[in-house]
Structure 1
């Protein structure tokens, strides 16, 4: 089972997002280096937001709790959902 972390957009401008992005990326890179992330990226529809898939609930919770995008208001909230890909089972 994987764990989806789904972030809802707080409606910040691209400039506001990019000002925080380096801190977000450095934080995310720690999870990637430990092979805790399967995939990550923004939604491209007008509603925005983002999603990441983690290998463990603990990693998903740690990310959602301390991501600079959340702490600095780019992401309004994160939801964590259990996610199973039946194609991989």
Structure 2
């Protein structure tokens, strides 16, 4: 079952802090994309609103979050996991 993650930014984190950590975050993201474990990922259109990602399974989503420098550096205040049935209606 696919899993969607939602990131809520730490309200005290600045864009400069995110950009400083971004290259490490991108390395982590690239690893999951190349492995076919992430189907879509990125920030919301309004700066500061957070981000979301769609993963092939819960284990991949948890592994991604555990290794994400944005989370490790405290730039993300909250992570929400939602398992998703993506059946066509």
TM-score by length of 1: 0.88
Runs of 4+ in 1 over 6 A off after TM superposition: none
SS at match of 1:38: strand
Which residue is 1:20 aligned to? 21
Say if 2:41 is the partner of 1:40. Answer: yes
Which residue is 1:3 aligned to? 3
Say if 2:83 is the partner of 1:82. Answer: yes
Work out the CA distance in 2 between the residues paired with 1:31 and 1:70.
16
Structure 1: 5+ residue runs without aligned partners?
A: none
Aligned length: 88
Structure 2: 5+ residue runs without aligned partners?
A: none
SS at match of 1:44: coil
Work out the CA distance in 2 between the residues paired with 1:66 and 1:46.
23
Q: CA deviation at 1:65?
A: 1.7
Say if 2:64 is the partner of 1:54. Answer: no
When residues 23 and 47 of structure 1 are mapped into structure 2, their CA distance, relative to the original with a 3 A threshold, is closer
Q: CA deviation at 1:68?
A: 0.4
Which residue is 1:72 aligned to? 73
